[in-house]
């Protein structure tokens, strides 16, 4: 989450504390930890490093994996849009709905359902009462559907692939309130230096549900100081408990359908991670992570795996710096970096370019959702001109780029030219539940088991304590009991100062040039990191010999992956099967010189939460399973 909304949090916490079951003091603690304090932000801006924006969230896609029998080194041949077209979509179904789907093909609603592989699923779907002449056709189509959208469970001689005497202490066998098999999962603390257990990072590791792959995809949330358990539990893990959900549910678009996923709470000072905060730069944080990751690989018996680094928001700084540190190791046995992905990222001078320069056009284009009156809109438009933002856009928002952009000036918080904050304050008056991270949010504030559903920290009575702060959850996940977990904590930098350069100046070009597999994406409903601002940052970056994109992004991103979350709900309400498919054009993409750009429609800051099918496609591209979005 960004610092500006965090200051807004501080301004409104006192009011909302009366309505929340979390104490006012607790809310203030969480609010201050969601991003940097105002004083810190001012220091960061003076140093030219900007401030943070981070808040990650929920859902992802499960379409995908294999029509044949791919090896650990070859990509699945059945996945994504190809999967949807591989067979009649009438026979697609999610794992959650598979039992009822199968029941529709048999006269015996009580037919046994045993999810032990597609062959068994197909046999169950046929049932003894199905007419003999159609049994082979039904079994074939159901098996195809299951194989394509729900990967065939795989086994290894010892059971779970990564379970051994060294990893057994980290195995998680069940989680409170997750009322289904969680599969192969590990979590706990691993030291940065094995000789010094006092500094350690907390992780969750879920190996793929599909055929074994020799790769690890790493996910970071932002902040700085925001927990990657948010991504694990509300975005792209095997199961999710997102905003407004009554309980955890199976995630049909989990990234573990495609790859082994590692979520890490880092830097030190984040979540359950422990130790003294010593880092003053992204370079130091990257070295800490590289040391942790090497120890992780040794414990789990991993070597010669491809590595993909992903994340969102302030992780737009973590991902490039950590990726560059891996490249600098020149060690393909342990650090074979093969691609990277960043959502709504802090890659440039985002406090100026992504917040202020691009604020007014965003407000004007989306005011039907924000609701500012005409006179105030006119005031902001005049400020856009007098503060120089309109001229900046006219000169530098061009394809190909007009040239290197000047050093971003300082815009003091709540000053006359702080259009982003002024508009947010005005929006709060109209809609107390306004959410900078997803501007379509309306009252009531959504329920959130992690306690931060909008700009405001808020928990309903039935969701206290926060899920990861429950003693039984800590015990199940081997988490340190002495830590009071919150979604965002900190500080994570010594003296609260990040001294590193913006990633576009060196490390991000280095990663693009080394892998030619980097995806940067922004969501169109995000007022924290604005889409046009991220494009402006790209237009100020030189990679593979040229500055910026030469052509303006314009290729439609058409999503034909079926709806695996709510398909059965439509059917139950009398709609035809696959009535709501295909999803259609959900963004714009563009590729030049190793960098893929993806603008995502109808999504807020946390893209895997809001548009899981689009995010699933993004990951497929990063992993090399597809060549176009």
Residues marked as catalytic: 313, 526, 605
Q: Vertex 200, ends 195 and 203: CA angle to 5°? A: 130
* β-bridge pairing 542-543 and 546-547: antiparallel
Helix (H) or strand (E) holding 557: strand 555-559
Q: Taking the CB of residue 391, how many other CB atoms lie within 10 A of it?
A: 12
- Cα separation, 131 vs 145, in Å, equals 20
Q: How far is 468 from 132, CA to CA, in rounded Å?
A: 51
SS3 508: helix
- Using alpha carbons, select from 310, 308, 349, 307 the residue that is nearest to residue 221: 310
Crossing angle between the packed helical segments 389-396 and 374-386, to the nearest 10 degrees: 60
Asked if residue 253 lies in contact with residue 615, where contact means CB atoms within 8 angstroms, the answer is yes
Q: Which residue has the tokens 């996945």?
A: 79
Is the Cβ–Cβ distance between 41 and 413 less than 8 Å?
Answer: yes
Neighbours of 47 (CB within 10 A): 12
Read off the tokens for 334.
Answer: 């342990």
Residue 321 makes CB contacts below 8 A (sequence gap 6+) with 282, 283, 285, 286, 500, 503, 507
Numbers of helices and strands, H then E, in the chain: 21, 14
Please list, in sequence order, all residues whose beta carbon lies within 8 angstroms of the beta carbon of residue 549, skipping any fewer than 6 positions away.
Answer: 399, 400, 401, 535, 538, 539, 590, 592, 597
Determine the Cα–Cα distance for residues 53 and 74; give it in Å rounded to an integer. Answer: 37
- CB of 51 closer than 8 Å to CB of 36: yes
Question: Which region, left, alpha or beta, applies to residue 338 given φ > 0 means left and ψ of -120 to 50 means alpha?
Answer: alpha
The arrangement of strands across the sheet holding 186-193 comes to: 186-193, 196-206, 260-265, 215-220, 306-312, 336-343, 518-523, 595-600, 584-592, 555-559
How many CB atoms within 10 Å of residue 331?
A: 12
Which residue, among 259, 188, 224, has the nearest Cα to 56 in the 3D structure? 224
- Mapped onto helix, strand or coil, the DSSP state of residue 556 is strand
**Helix, coil or strand: residue 461:** helix
- Give the number of other Cβ atoms within 10 Å of residue 443's Cβ: 10
């Amino acid at each position: 989450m960004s610092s500006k909304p965090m200051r807004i949090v501080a301004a409104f916490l006192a009011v909302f504390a009366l309505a929340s079951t979390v104490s006012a003091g607790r809310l203030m603690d969480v609010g201050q930890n969601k991003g940097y304090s105002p004083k810190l932000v001012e220091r960061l801006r003076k140093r030219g490093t900007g401030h943070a924006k981070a808040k990650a969230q929920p859902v992802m896609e499960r379409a995908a994996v294999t029509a044949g029998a791919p090896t650990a080194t070859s990509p699945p041949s059945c996945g994504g849009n190809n999967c949807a077209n591989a067979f009649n979509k009438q026979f697609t179904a999610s794992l959650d709905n598979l039992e009822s789907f199968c029941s529709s093909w048999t006269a015996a609603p009580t037919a046994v359902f045993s999810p032990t592989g597609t062959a068994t699923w197909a046999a169950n779907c046929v049932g003894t009462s199905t007419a003999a002449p159609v049994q082979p056709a039904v079994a074939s189509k159901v098996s195809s559907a299951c194989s394509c959208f729900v990967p065939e469970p795989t086994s290894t001689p010892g059971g779970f692939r990564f379970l051994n005497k060294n990893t057994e202490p980290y195995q998680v066998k069940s989680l409170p309130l997750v009322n289904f098999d969680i599969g192969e999962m590990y979590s706990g603390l691993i030291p940065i230096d094995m000789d010094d257990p006092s500094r350690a990072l907390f992780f969750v590791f879920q190996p793929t549900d599909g055929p074994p792959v020799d790769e690890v995809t790493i996910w970071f949330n932002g902040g700085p100081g925001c927990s990657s358990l948010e991504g694990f539990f509300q975005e792209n893990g095997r199961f999710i408990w997102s905003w407004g959900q009554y309980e955890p549910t199976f995630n049909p678009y989990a990234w573990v359908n495609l790859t082994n996923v590692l979520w890490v709470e880092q830097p030190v000072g984040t979540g359950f991670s422990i130790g003294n905060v010593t880092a003053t730069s992204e370079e130091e944080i990257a070295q800490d992570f590289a040391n942790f990751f090497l120890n992780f690989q040794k414990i789990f018996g991993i070597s010669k795996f491809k590595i993909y680094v992903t994340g969102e928001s302030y992780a737009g700084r973590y991902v490039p710096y950590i990726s560059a540190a891996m490249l600098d190791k020149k060690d393909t046995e342990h650090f074979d970096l093969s691609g990277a992905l960043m959502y709504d990222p802090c890659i440039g001078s985002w406090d100026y370019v992504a917040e202020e320069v691009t604020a007014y056009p965003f407000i004007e284009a989306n005011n039907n959702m924000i609701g500012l009156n005409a006179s105030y809109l006119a005031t902001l438009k005049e400020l856009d001109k007098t503060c120089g933002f309109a001229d900046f856009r006219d000169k530098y928002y061009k394809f190909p780029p007009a040239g290197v952009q000047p050093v971003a000036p300082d815009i003091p918080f709540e000053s006359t030219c702080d259009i982003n904050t002024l508009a947010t304050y005005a929006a709060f008056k109209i809609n107390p539940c306004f959410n900078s991270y997803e501007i379509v949010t309306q009252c009531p504030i959504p329920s959130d088991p992690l306690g931060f559903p909008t700009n405001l920290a808020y928990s309903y009575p039935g969701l206290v304590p926060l899920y990861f702060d429950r003693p039984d959850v800590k015990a199940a996940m081997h988490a340190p009991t002495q830590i009071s977990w919150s979604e965002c904590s900190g500080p994570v930098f010594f003296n609260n100062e990040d001294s590193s350069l913006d990633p576009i100046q060196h490390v991000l070009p280095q990663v693009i040039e080394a892998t030619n597999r980097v995806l940067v994406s922004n969501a169109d409903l995000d007022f924290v990191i604005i889409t046009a601002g991220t494009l402006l940052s790209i237009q100020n970056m030189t990679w593979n010999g040229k500055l910026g994109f030469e052509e303006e992004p314009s290729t439609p991103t058409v999503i034909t992956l079926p709806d695996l979350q709510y398909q059965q709900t439509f059917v139950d309400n009398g709609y035809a099967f696959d009535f709501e498919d295909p999803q259609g054009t959900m963004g714009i993409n563009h590729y030049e010189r190793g960098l893929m750009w993806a603008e995502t429609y109808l999504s807020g800051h946390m893209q895997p939460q809001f548009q899981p099918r689009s995010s699933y496609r993004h990951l497929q591209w990063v992993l090399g399973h597809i060549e176009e979005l």
